[in-house]
């Protein structure tokens, strides 16, 4: 991301809790990735994303801020693809549903 100055964001569906738990681990296992059916795709401009998610954003970095031992990247959305369903929400240590 730092070299290319671009990144992708994949927003999970409310049914994709196992994917959220998988990517929250410090290390990912290829066998588990295969079992979960995780597939990656790329935008026309070569930005990676997770397939079959609620939303996929392709972003260009417009600013970078150092925060201790981290870097915060601010992105401008280049493209957006939206699917159907509700988003997966994790709040205060639990997965929750949106109340509309």
Confidence of residue 98 (pLDDT cuts 50, 70, 90): confident
Q: How far apart are CA 96 and CA 100, in angstroms?
A: 13
Q: Is the pLDDT of residue 2 over 70?
A: no
| Span 25-84, pLDDT tens digits | 999 889 999 999 999 999 888 888 999 999 999 999 999 999 999 999 999 999 999 988
Options 1.10.540.10, 2.30.110.10, 1.20.58.110, 2.40.50.140; CATH of 6-96: 2.30.110.10
Confidence of residue 4 (pLDDT cuts 50, 70, 90): confident
List the alpha helices (DSSP H) in the chain. 17-24, 30-36
- In the chain, where are the structural domains located? 6-96
């Amino acid at each position: 991301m730092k070299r290319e100055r671009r990144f992708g964001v994949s927003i999970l569906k409310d049914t994709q809790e196992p994917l959220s738990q998988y990517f929250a681990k410090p290390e990912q296992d290829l066998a588990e990735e295969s079992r979960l059916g995780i597939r990656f795709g790329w935008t026309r401009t070569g930005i990676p994303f997770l397939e079959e998610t609620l939303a996929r954003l392709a972003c260009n970095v417009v600013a970078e801020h150092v925060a201790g031992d981290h870097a915060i990247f601010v992105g401008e959305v280049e493209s957006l693809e939206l699917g159907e369903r509700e988003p997966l929400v994790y709040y205060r240590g639990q997965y929750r549903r949106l109340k509309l």
